[in-house]
Amino acid sequence: MITAEGYLYFVDLALDGMAAVLTGLGDDLANRRPELPGGNSPYAIVTHCLGVVSFWGGQVVAGRAVPRDRAAEFTATGPVDELVARLHAVRGQLAADVAAAVPADPCHGEAPPKYRDTPICESQGMALQHIYEELAQHRGHLELTRDLLLAGRG
């Protein structure tokens, strides 16, 4: 079974990679959408990931009420340095939530309806695994988006 420290090691790899992509792109490119149907800007992708971490770690695992406007995550824009600072704050809160979690215990809060009858909601550990699943998936999306934006610039 993975330890809290081991879990956070992998979460940090994903989040640190996201912060590096944002910083490397700068404000202009980080807020651009690639020229493809349904493409999201790097800023929006990372904003969505922070929404995932906050909601699933805070509400589902820890039981805090975490208001979330998921649709707004995909239209978010702003300065990279502010988003990177938020990323570090969200990561700090996740560390506290992971430290307090009992992986085999039921979740403290309610998940969205489409997840309620899935293994993701069977335990706090499974909900935490879902967070990492989303971070890993979207880190790949972010890196592909970066590559498209840089290729289109040059």
Query: Cα–Cα distances in Å, from 3 out to 7, 14, 52, 99?
Result: 6, 17, 21, 10
pLDDT band at 21 (very low <50, low <70, confident <90, very high): very high
Q: How many domains does the chain have?
A: 1
Print the domain residue range for 124: 4-153
Tens of pLDDT, residue by residue over 69-125, are 999 999 999 999 999 999 999 999 999 999 999 999 999 998 999 998 999 989 999
Give the pTM.
0.96
Return the CATH number at 66. Answer: 1.20.120.450
Tens of pLDDT, residue by residue over 8-17, are 999 999 999 9
In this predicted structure, the answer to whether residue 154 has a pLDDT above a threshold of 80 is no
CA distance 122 to 101: 14
Q: Which residues of 102-113 are buried (b: 16+ CB within 10 A; e: fewer)?
A: ebeeebbbebee
CA distance 41 to 143: 11
Q: Find the helix or strand (DSSP H, E) in which 52 lies.
A: helix 42-53
